[in-house]
Structure 1
């Protein structure tokens, strides 16, 4: 756990054209406090959030699952962490921590070169992260400059991160990654390439994977515009004035990475294999879908609360809309449970959740979340758009508003807080970023669906077809 001041460690963080100190930005302080719930829960609920191994206590995310019960315990811990921020922080420390657990056991295939052993580097790094409970952020998506061309055909040098110099003590890298969530408040940065946009033969220098502290010279964290609303309280903006997950554009400008922090280098084929074959993808997907269902339940509950408070929930058409939301929620909950129950032991004795089930969640949850937001928008509609600033309750018109905005279901202030929350999640910049995040942070749902049917086990269905067609 960090204090905000400890993050002013020389890291180059930029906001609105200026290099800043992380501790000087109020919304960064609030986000860090919510992120630190990961560490707080280890102390307040150790039976759920920690485990003992070789006499040492670790966060449960680092436990290598050997049984379905191990996955269920991790599920419960992920859920409690997500509930502390209503599912709005997608990259809390448990996300990559669970990937580190399996990386330590599955890294040998990464091989070696004349300078170093990549498999051992990854293993030792994962063990170090676990021992010190390091908060890792990651960046994998390459800037979308011209997807019609291979990355090596884009001359700017910023189409990805690539090696520009190889030395006996390490590599020097330059380039960029399009989006890195939570970078300003993390400890380390893990860089690799996405599996859905495969590198090609000419992309060799871009075939890298490595980890580095965020205060490494040459690493620049260029934050997007913040989504909070200075001058207003959390009564006006209950979510966007409470946290901002702080996406950033990451630039490497001749940054030196020692060999012991390098896991793939000068190998486009190994780079393409890294995310999937290390096991990081499958186990971080489990954490991510548990977090996602927490967020979907929050959005579903909000839509139902709005309908009740506005006196709309006795209309059959509204009930049908709300019933669709709760049905969607149950479908996702059941599919995550199925991923755990149908998991299998891999060749390393790691109990791995069923990836087909997790990908079904990832292909469906973004649309279900958007539907919940749209229902909230359409039910709250002008009511949420017309809510005065909360400061008006202390102004000249306060007594009037106390009467004018009150209903039999809620007094004026409680009704206004709820409608402000509805607006913040469904219609503000914060809410639209949350929607975009759900659609794309785990991969493009279109790509997921287009591949999902190819990997589905339809042996029973095909047997029935064959019996009917060939009798």
Structure 2
């Protein structure tokens, strides 16, 4: 694509919805979806994303969300590389402003993949000999504020075998031509992919760690595939949005369901201009951390989780007030734990912005150690959130009605109003509140969120293994041990070896 064809402004909501009508191969319920923007399994989620795009053009939000980068491109603040702590602080506010529009319930919004795509501009030649591809993709991506999905995990099959022995499943190059490459294989989990503009395809740290030089070059790829790419097929999971009967009964799942999919390449053609790494085992192993992607995606995820915890704190407090238990000491203790957890994530997000480290091309990214900590604690904190809700609210979320229709029945309404009221609030308001609690904590939508929060940043062991290995690679482990060595060097069998302390020998 030439520079003349690159749009010079960010998409608005209507343009975004129209951009989804490109012939993509999305399958749901045994049929190919002709128009994802209007299909009942996706249409409200699509409009939740369209709302983000409209916000880019809202005079009241534009200053927080938008900036002009070093190349004169007007884009979302997190879509551009950061060159100072101030840049990261401003990006933090832009991410938070977008995330508040979905109350933290949509994690794979367009700013998620900005975690990586912004790094393309900082040092395109890091991707040599595909540096011009990186530069071109950044210009198109940033100027239009495109929405990319992200697939870096192999399907959970034959993981006990060497990578190159699973060519029937894992993504690999099958043919090279003058115009590009043909790839075949599957990746997961393509969250929100049906509503995106392109797929970013690579290997995560756990997968890349298994690559062997001389054997796995066909799998060592980093590329982008536009959603209309022939041979790119999405198989979607069931839609919680489709099952939602009304916003009163399913207020979150009816509009914020990020459908997950398995993405399959069936001899799909990828032009050379969309390739960033080709048959390069070392680059595939390094890009996850070296590119700055890891540091930045955990920055976005931490802010999103902080917004989600703001929401959950409010939801818990309102539930306790409705039950009349908000004044109990033990209840306040547990609610205080949730508030403290919320405070922790906001503090971590601020530290990630204010204490960055150098990255490609003179840019800065959140410090890797902070990002690794955020990766772990954002993942398992959600289980504790659910435990607090379950222990404090008990069976209250069950005490509702089957449907909004019960409240519209004139024979039932007086009985409901009397017996299902809350403390200081009428029955309709109490039921509305606890249906929101149910959708957030107990519904099928909520169950998927529990799985998402635990696994989206990597498998349980890999999170800790990465932190362990990076501590050794970056000299932190040596520093830890040196501190202990220093402590032990100050004494021996004869007593203190430094003059600061005295020693009373036994019997003296």
Residues 231, 297 of structure 1: CA spacing in aligned structure 2 closer, same or farther, 3 A cutoff? closer
Of the three residues 487, 500, 503, the one matched with 1:468 is: 487
Structure 2 counterpart of 1:298: 311
User: Once structures 1 and 2 are overlaid, which stretch shifts more, 34-43 or 71-80?
Assistant: 34-43
Report the CA distance shift for 1:359/1:269 in structure 2 as closer, same or farther (over 3 A). Answer: same
CA shift for structure 1 position 462: 4.8
Which of 21, 44, 47 is the equivalent residue of 1:33?
47
**Distance (whole Å) between structure 2 residues aligned to residue 365 and residue 62 of structure 1:** 22
For residue 137 of structure 1, the aligned residue among 144, 149, 152 is 149
Q: Does 1:46 align with 2:62?
A: yes
Question: Cα deviations across residues 52-106 of structure 1 (Å, max 9, x unaligned)?
Answer: 2455422212222111111000000100111100111111111222422212223
Deviation at 1:454, TM superposition (A): 5.2
Counterpart CA distance in 2 for 1:238 and 1:37 is: 17
Query: Separation in 2 of the partners of 1:92 and 1:334?
Result: 23
* Alignment-derived partner of residue 494 in structure 2: none
Q: What is the Cα-based RMSD across aligned positions, in Å?
A: 2.0
- Contact 2:111 / 2:300 at 8 angstroms: preserved in 1? yes
User: Which residue does 1:193 correspond to in 2?
Assistant: 203
Mapping for residues 246-285 of structure 1, pairs under 5 Å: 246-285=259-298
Match of 1:102 among 98, 101, 119: 119
Q: Indicate which of 317, 320, 326 corresponds to 1:313.
A: 326
Contact 1:137–1:181 under 8 Å retained in 2 = yes
Partner of residue 169, structure 1: 179
Q: How far apart, CA to CA, are the structure 2 residues paired with 1:121 and 1:101? A: 13
Q: Deviations over 1:286-312 (max 9, x none)?
A: 122211211122223222221221112
Which moves more between the two structures, 225-234 or 429-438? Answer: 225-234
Which residue does 2:499 correspond to in 1? none
Q: Partner of 1:252: helix, strand, or coil? A: strand
1:114-152 Cα shifts (integer Å, max 9, x gaps):
xxxx22222221222112322111211110102211222
Q: 1:60 aligns with which of 77, 80, 93?
A: 77
Deviation at 1:8, TM superposition (A): 2.6
The structure with the largest alpha-carbon Rg is 2
2:101 aligns with one of 79, 84, 99: 84
Cα distance in 2 between the residues matched to 1:309 and 1:272? 52
Change (3 A) 1:311 1:183: same
Write the deviation string for residues 229-261 of structure 1: whole angstroms up to 9, x where unpaired.
646211111111122101111011111111111
Q: In the alignment, which residue of structure 2 is the partner of 1:69?
A: 86
62 and 229 in structure 1: CA distance in 2 versus 1, 3 angstrom threshold:
closer
Q: How far apart, in 2, do the equivalents of 1:419 and 1:177 lie?
A: 37
Q: Give the C-alpha shift of residue 455 in structure 1.
A: 4.3
User: CA 1:469/1:274 → structure 2, altered by over 3 Å: closer, same or farther?
Assistant: closer
Cα 1:6–1:377, aligned 2, differ >3 Å: closer, same or farther? same
Is 1:340 aligned to residue 376 of structure 2?
A: no
CA distance in 2, matches of 1:386, 1:408: 14
* Residue ranges of structure 2 left out of the alignment (5+ in a row): 1-10, 491-508
CA gap 1:467/1:163 in 2 versus in 1, 3 angstroms: closer
Other structure's SS at 2:228 match: coil
Q: Structure 1 residues 425 and 174 mapped into 2: Cα distance closer, same or farther (>3 Å)?
A: same
In terms of mean alpha carbon deviation, does 279-288 or 134-143 score higher? 279-288
1:64-463 alignment runs, 5 A limit: 64-112=81-129, 118-154=130-166, 157-158=168-169, 160-198=170-208, 199-201=211-213, 202-228=215-241, 230=243, 232-346=245-359, 348-388=361-401, 389-395=403-409, 396-453=411-468, 455-456=470-471, 457=476, 462=481
Q: Distance in 2 between matches of 1:181 and 1:101?
A: 20
CA distance in 1, matches of 2:264, 2:482: 53
Task: Report how many aligned residue pairs link the two structures.
Answer: 464
Helix, strand or coil: the match of 2:173? strand
State the distance in 2 between where 1:439 and 1:100 align. Answer: 24
Asked whether the equivalents of residues 121 and 261 of structure 1 are also in contact (C-alpha less than 8 Å), the reply is yes
Q: Structure 1 residues 451-460 or 378-387, which shifts more? A: 451-460
Match of 1:20 in 2: 33
